[in-house]
Amino acid sequence: MKYSLKTFGITRDILGGKEVIFEMDGEKVGELKLELMARFPEMKSLNSLLVAVNNAYAKDDMVIKEKDEIALIPPVSGG
C-alpha cells in the first residue's frame, strides 16, 4: 500500500518533506509507526509519536486506506 503522509514539526525534519509517499505492506496505524521507526531510526528518539487519520487521533489497530488523510503528530507544544 502507498500512503501519503502529512508531516509536522520534527517529523518533517526527519522525513524531509511536507507530504511524503510511504509504501509498506502493513495496513494498520501501529504497523505504520513501527515501519517509520525502522526506516527512520531518529523517530525512536521522540517523546511520542501519534498518527491522525482524517483529522482525528487514531489508535494502533485502526486500518488505514490509501485515500485517508494521514498525519504524523510528534509531541505537541502549542500555547
Q: How far is the CB of 77 from another protein (least distance, A)?
A: 4
The cell numbers describing 11, all together, are: 517529523
Considering the rule CB under 8 A, would residue 8 count as an interface residue with another protein? yes
The CB density around residue 53, as the number of other CB atoms within 10 Å, is 18
Backbone angles phi, psi at 72, to 5 degrees: -90, 130
Which grid cell is 23? Answer: 509504501
Find the binding residues for another protein in span 43-72 (CB under 8 A).
45-47, 52, 55-56, 71
- Contact positions toward another protein, by CB under 8 A? 6, 8-10, 13, 45-47, 52, 55-56, 71, 73-79
